[in-house]
A and B are shown apart, each in its own frame.
Chain A
């Protein structure tokens, strides 16, 4: 800050009061942000950089020497059928869970909003999976989906249908996991949609009716959907990132089986890093995961954001 010397060659022995004030303010600002900066560096930036560095080495836990191997880990990933399977499975999981839990949440939110009573009850019921512990809930799912003693197949038997082995049939297991994923994410999305719906001015619906929007669908197209745009974008991003991160249900229910049919990115990373101790290779998987998450965030901020905020 140049404090108004208007070009005069003034060179005071001491700083002016204004300049001193500005400097002490700057020092205070740095001191106040220091804890946040330090924890960001120590807990986020350094580990990330360490992972990036590890990804280019052959480091294994307990190994005597570390060798810089460049892109070898990535080359191995490219040819690793197990990794390819886990990548495809993760994409499948995201592709099913994201639209499923978003559309489901939107429909239920509209029904709850249109209903007269029970708003709080329904909100609580659908939000319950979000606040409950996934590992504990996974055990409940394990029982529900058990091929012989599970209630689901029990009900199907009543209808004369032989239910599949939900978690041990390699063609079925990803669908089952995605179903659980939808159940997990739906409540969270529902609460976001309900909040978004309350923010829409009532007068817009009145205007739409007077303007000739006779059907509920016409009003949805004209008012609800466009005005929910920012909410939907946020829900979309958060659901995609949450479902890319799928791990605990896989770890508890299938451990990637049968025969890697339910292997997903984070589970592969965990296996390589903490079961086989190939930390370099595991770090390479982490980088792939990181790239996907960053790409999704970029998609939100750069591309979609412009289309849903009507400044």
Chain B
């Protein structure tokens, strides 16, 4: 089995458990985004796969080979760091050549001046130069090869870091928030380029980010991590529409998903603020009903609420409203449906029960059945 496979990784730092038995698989040629808030352990996980940090328990396999105890150099992975970690004293071409020179040349061949006299050194150097030129060219760095990192813009440095990673054709790419130091416009543009690079290189890629937009737009699959564990791994569409955990539902999506306190009666019929919803849960008691902003709409009869303000976004509006029990909600509505909505207006809110997500008291997703036995809110 090629790609990256990790099983039950555990890491303790000074008494607190940073990774609580994390398992994850990145298939060959697959692009997996690991997304989570700061301090959730995602960078630690990545550093362990690279070999810079050691797990207290668990196993790491890369391309079917167990590498848990191996040095980073022996793992055949390339990493792009958040700070780019370019060598400031080397030119762009020299930076890109480092992984090749360290692997293809012997210590004697790498010596300055005399190194070139060693047998085979010249041919190896020429091959390295050709590979470096090709990698630099493919990232549009051809004309910058003689510059030092200090003379480059943030976006150019980022490309050098990428070129240094792809030049060796490693079994796996690890990217640790590579776009977080770029400005917003460049970030959107570079997203596509990284996906292109991944497609051309075809190696398993694990991409760590705290930006859900990056995770959703770039990845084949998204792994949502929080508090040292992976909550769900699924396609971007499934992560958004079909979250397995309330924490996933709350982390993914902007604005945040709306959560309403709900009650399942003895037969499992779900009520919100005393009103029937047409949903039936497989349990009783207090549960949470969650709705994406676009799934809540102003209706003729529904949950009474007060509009608090409107934000115009161009293609849509965000309507901030508050229920009588004080719950704040956000609705995304089409501008043409704005009508007479304004701050302070009273309105009624409704939703399609098929779009509602139910979560138990432990935050786990509950299967919901639509049961029209009672009159439903629509």
Q: Which residues of B contact A201 (CB under 8 A)?
A: 83, 85
Residue among A210, A214, A310, A311 with the highest chain B CB neighbour number at 10 A? A210
Residue contact B47 to A204, C-beta cutoff 8 Å = no
Residue B72, interface by CB 8 Å = yes
Cα distance, A210 to B164, chains bound together (Å)? 11
Q: Which residues of A contact B83 (CB under 8 A)?
A: 201, 203
List residues 39-54 of chain B with CB under 8 A from any CB of chain A: 47, 50-52
Least distance between A205 CB and chain B CB atoms (Å): 9
Q: Which residues of B contact A218 (CB under 8 A)?
A: 102, 107
Q: Which residues of B contact A213 (CB under 8 A)?
A: 73, 102
Spot the interface stretch: A180-188, A222-230, A234-242: A222-230
B145-171 CB contact bits vs A (8 Å, 1 = yes)? 000111100000000000010000000
Residue contact A206 to B85, C-beta cutoff 8 Å = yes
List residues 191-206 of chain A with CB under 8 A from any CB of chain B: 201, 203-204, 206
Cα distance, A126 to B308, chains bound together (Å)? 68
Cα distance, A226 to B150, chains bound together (Å)? 14
Residue B282, interface by CB 8 Å = no
Main secondary structure of the interface of A (DSSP, over half): helix
B148 interface neighbour in A204, A206, A212, A311, Cβ under 8 Å: A311
List residues 255-311 of chain A with CB under 8 A from any CB of chain B: 310-311
Q: Which residues of A contact B71 (CB under 8 A)?
A: 209, 214
Contact A211-B99, Cβ < 8 Å, known A203-B81, A204-B87, A229-B89: yes
Among residues of B, the one whose C-beta sits closest to the C-beta of A207 is B85
B98 interface neighbour in A215, A222, A229, Cβ under 8 Å: A222
List residues 114-167 of chain B with CB under 8 A from any CB of chain A: 148-151, 164
B52 interface neighbour in A209, A222, A223, A227, Cβ under 8 Å: A209
Residue B218, interface by CB 8 Å = no
Among residues of A, the one whose C-beta sits closest to the C-beta of B77 is A210
Residue contact B148 to A211, C-beta cutoff 8 Å = no
Residue contact B85 to A212, C-beta cutoff 8 Å = no
Residue contact A206 to B47, C-beta cutoff 8 Å = yes
Residue contact A211 to B47, C-beta cutoff 8 Å = no
Q: Which residues of B contact A310 (CB under 8 A)?
A: 88-89, 148-150
Cα distance, A218 to B111, chains bound together (Å)? 11
Among residues of A, the one whose C-beta sits closest to the C-beta of B47 is A206
Residue B79, interface by CB 8 Å = yes
List residues 144-194 of chain A with CB under 8 A from any CB of chain B: none
Residue B26, interface by CB 8 Å = no
Cα distance, A53 to B81, chains bound together (Å)? 61
Among residues of B, the one whose C-beta sits closest to the C-beta of A204 is B85
Q: Which residues of B contact A207 (CB under 8 A)?
A: 79, 81, 85, 87
Cα distance, A210 to B62, chains bound together (Å)? 14
Residue among B89, B107, B148 with the highest chain A CB neighbour number at 10 A? B89
Cα distance, A226 to B95, chains bound together (Å)? 13
Residue B103, interface by CB 8 Å = yes
Q: Indicate the size class of the contact surface on chain B.
A: 20 to 34
Least distance between B271 CB and chain A CB atoms (Å): 54
Q: Which residues of B contact A210 (CB under 8 A)?
A: 50-52, 72-73, 77-79
Residue contact B52 to A212, C-beta cutoff 8 Å = no
B95-107 CB contact bits vs A (8 Å, 1 = yes)? 0001100110001
Residue contact A223 to B87, C-beta cutoff 8 Å = yes
Least distance between A223 CB and chain B CB atoms (Å): 7
Cα distance, A217 to B110, chains bound together (Å)? 12
Cα distance, A229 to B148, chains bound together (Å)? 16
Cα distance, A223 to B87, chains bound together (Å)? 7
Among residues of A, the one whose C-beta sits closest to the C-beta of B99 is A211
Least distance between B80 CB and chain A CB atoms (Å): 9
Least distance between A207 CB and chain B CB atoms (Å): 4
Cα distance, A207 to B82, chains bound together (Å)? 11
Contact A211-B98, Cβ < 8 Å, known A226-B89, A227-B88: yes
Contact A206-B103, Cβ < 8 Å, known A310-B148, A311-B150: no
Q: Which residues of A contact B82 (CB under 8 A)?
A: 203
Residue among B72, B81, B148, B151 with the highest chain A CB neighbour number at 10 A? B72
Residue among A206, A218, A222, A311 with the highest chain B CB neighbour number at 10 A? A206
Q: Which residues of A contact B88 (CB under 8 A)?
A: 226-227, 310
Least distance between B88 CB and chain A CB atoms (Å): 4
A214 interface neighbour in B73, B87, B149, B151, Cβ under 8 Å: B73
Cα distance, A279 to B107, chains bound together (Å)? 58
Cα distance, A74 to B283, chains bound together (Å)? 105
Among residues of A, the one whose C-beta sits closest to the C-beta of B161 is A207
Residue contact A209 to B73, C-beta cutoff 8 Å = yes
Least distance between B103 CB and chain A CB atoms (Å): 5
Q: Can you list 14 A-B contacts with CB-CB less than 8 angstroms, sorted by A residue number?
A: A203-B81, A203-B82, A203-B85, A206-B50, A206-B52, A206-B85, A210-B52, A214-B71, A215-B107, A218-B102, A222-B102, A310-B89, A310-B148, A310-B149
Further contacts, 19 of them, CB under 8 A, given A207-B79, A210-B73 = A201-B85, A206-B47, A206-B72, A206-B79, A208-B98, A209-B51, A210-B51, A211-B73, A211-B98, A212-B98, A212-B99, A212-B102, A212-B103, A218-B107, A222-B102, A223-B87, A227-B88, A310-B88, A310-B150
Chain B residues within 8 Å of A, Cβ to Cβ: 47, 50-52, 71-74, 77-79, 81-83, 85, 87-90, 98-99, 102-103, 107, 148-151, 164
Ranked 5 nearest A-B pairs via Cβ: A212-B102, A207-B85, A226-B89, A209-B72, A211-B99
